Structure 1
Amino acid sequence: MFSLFSKKTQKKGEAFPFAALATDMHSHILPGIDDGSPDLETSLQLISGLQDLGYKKLVATPHILWDMFRNTPDIIHEKLDLLREAALKAGLTIELDAAAEYFLDEHTNELLAKKERLLTISGNKVLFEFSMAYPPFNVKDTLFEMQMQGYEPVFVHPERYSYLQKNKEFYDEMKEIGCIFQLNILSLGGHYGRGVTELSNHLLKKDYYDLLGTDLHHSNHLAALQQFHTGLFPADYNFSTRFRNNQL
């Protein structure tokens, strides 16, 4: 089995080239609206850390999961304006933007049925996730409706769905219908467990990933990113051309 932890690559490589990616398109840095940053001070610390890593642009993507996080475009944009103002006062030069991470639930289906404008990255890309506890129901119907309305679905952290270990054909189906795949960077370092790392390896081998995201929620994630290195990828991996982050 293909493994990024083979003898050839398990040694520590160079510092990860975050600057080559330029944009982090998945993070939870808006203060106090989901399970990410709890307050403005923490948000500024996280942003400062990501800027120090080399990122030039951050797209905050708070959860829209109606049973837990009832975020709306107005709420998200209000928090974005607050964070931009605070970042400017703090002397941070990084560009800040916002979209959302949509949970495929009844609320999202209602938004699509009403043709409500969804929050997107890079024009028309919509980040989506579903339950990590059980397989999704009618996910293809929802994604088809997104596409009919002109959106390009982005399947975030597909490697984190452990039940797909026994149903890897699902990934093939998601690719066939046109989904973009986004890898959580820390999935490769064992942060979410061995099974997640194995699925990351599987999807990397199939060349399915298009985007890399931090999925940053808190300072522990930032500390892990600061220790991340290129030794977890195959040798001579060209990050700036392999992933599309710097086109966002």
Structure 2
Amino acid sequence: MLHFFSKKYFLQDLLEGFVDIHNHILPGIDDGAKSVEESIDLIKRLKELGVRQFIPTPHIMQDFYPNTDETIGNAYELLLESLNTNVLSTISINPAAEYMLDTTFEKLLEEGNLFTLKGSYVLIEMSYFQPPINLEFLIFKIKTKGYLPVLAHPERYTFYHNNLQYYDKLKQLGCFFQLNLLSLSDYYGTSVEKIANYLIERNLIDFVGTDTHHTTHIETLSNLVLNKKTSKKVAYLINNTNTTFSVI
């Protein structure tokens, strides 16, 4: 619903036709949707927000979610079989993955066997406690293998909050940044919200995604209000995300 007569700038009004490049809607394989029913509910709610293209990105994390081509493919097929044809006719779903930078990732990278968002773009993440000791080498290696690294939610890595210059270093190394739209609120805490706005102000963000795991995330997005300046910048980032990753 568009808020024509309000001076508030609702995020929801910017999302019509959105390509969501980061979400956890595949059933039963990570910390996102636990069942097909939950998956379908998340899809319908996101569709109401305006999302039309979904790139599910289940975690691939050696100690917790050791997903493979098979587990992701099976969850994807199960979801497609369960979705109403009327819903399927109005959306697209093309799975990828969100890779933790661990030893499993290094092995998969050597094999050249990665689920990309589209083309050569690959979504990567780090532990929230500390970065890999070989982070810069890993980014270099990703690029030498022909992939384009997209770092998920850089604003959430609190170990960089007092070392803001390192964000510039990561960009110089060739890392793209994907902001979680939820970080534009205090959902993850005021510190994350502050850094999210800093990165946007510095034009360091390239793409955005919802990182939806459950309905609470969608409810927060539905009510998220931006100021005018941020709204314009986020509209640009949404357009850039759509242009880069649309398959239609």
TM-score (norm 1): 0.89
2:109 aligned with 1:112, yes or no? yes
Equivalence for 1:68: 64
2:157 and 2:171 map into 1 onto residues whose CA distance is 16
Which amino acid in structure 1 is aligned with residue 212 of structure 2?
A: L
Higher relative contact order by CA 8 Å / sep ≥ 6: 1 or 2?
Answer: 1
1:16 — aligned with what? Answer: 13
Corresponding residue to 1:96 among 90, 93, 96: 93
Answer whether contact 2:206 2:237 (CA < 8 A) is retained.
no
- Taking the aligned partners of 1:89 and 1:45, their CA distance within structure 2 comes to 15
Q: Which amino acid aligns with 2:93?
A: L
CA distance in structure 1 between the partners assigned to 2:152 and 2:57 by the alignment:
11
1:163-205 per-residue CA deviation (whole Å, 9 max, x = no partner) reads: 1111112111110011111000010111000110111111111
In structure 2, distance between residues paired with 1:53 and 1:31: 21
Classify 1:159/1:77 alpha carbon distance in 2 versus 1 (closer, same or farther; 3 Å). Answer: same
Aligned-CA RMSD value: 1.8
Other-structure match for 2:179: 183
Q: Are 2:189 and 1:193 aligned?
A: yes
Provide the residue aligned with 2:29 in structure 1.
Answer: 33
1:85 Cα deviation after fit: 2.1
2:3 aligns with none
Change (3 A) 1:226 1:65: same
Q: 1:232 to 1:47 in 2, by over 3 A?
A: farther
Q: Where do 5+ consecutive residues of structure 1 fail to align?
A: 1-10
| Alignment length (residue pairs) | 236
Aligned counterpart in structure 2 of residue 146 of structure 1, from 113, 119, 142: 142
Tell me, in whole angstroms, the C-alpha distance in 2 between the residues paired with 1:244 and 1:139. Answer: 26
In structure 2, stretches of 5+ residues that fail to align are: 1-6
In the alignment, is the contact (CA less than 8 A) between 2:122 and 2:150 conserved in 1?
yes
Q: In 2, are the aligned partners of 1:240 and 1:246 still within 8 Å (CA)?
A: no
The answer to whether 1:204 aligns with 2:197 is no
On the 8 A contact 2:207/2:237 being kept in 1, the answer is: no
TM-score w.r.t. length of structure 2: 0.89
CA distance in 1, matches of 2:143, 2:92: 28
